[in-house]
Amino acid sequence: MMGWSIEVGVSDLAQPDPPGAADVIDRRCGSSPCQQDADTKAFTGRGGAPAEVRRAQARVASIHHQQEDLSRLTRRVRGRTFYLAVHRRKDTGQVHLRWRAAGSGAHAGHIAWGAIHAHFAQIPGVLRAWYERIHRHAVELNRRELEARLALRHARERNS
């Protein structure tokens, strides 16, 4: 296809991971002293979630945010025929990225990565390589999301 262009650079994918929850708290405090986060009702059973659960929740939320960012990045490609969509499973809470054919009609919907390779003959080499890097990153985020949700479930079980 003619007219392929990309609004974002490949370097956009190389951005470091978002900061952890501790980094965000430190930045909000600035140079002034901050009160440390603590469970104010730790021994009554009415306090906030234990630190381990909060850290696990923050990790899951961070990965979900990265998945949404990657999905938005693939939607910014002009003339795209496919993009990453965030898919949420209500029964398990799983959030994962799936390739989806752009547009509407009979060919719209989720598409397997293997089927996308057929489209590569029409895509310039630089864009094809970019999609391959995006796909590897999506697979990695999906794997990390599964691990993070499992860690969160274990943390909740230990602290219940």
Q: Each residue of 60-119: pLDDT tens digit? A: 999 999 999 999 999 998 878 889 999 999 998 899 999 998 876 666 788 888 888 777
pLDDT above 70: residue 14: no
pLDDT in tens, 110-143: 888 888 877 766 778 888 888 889 999 999 999 9
More confident residue, 66 or 23: 66
Answer yes or no: are the C-beta atoms of 62 and 137 closer than 8 Å.
no
Tokens standing for residue 73: 């990045």
pTM beyond cutoff 0.85: no
Compute the chain's Rg from CA coordinates. Answer: 20
Cβ neighbour number for residue 84 with a 10 Å cutoff: 24
pLDDT of residue 153: 94
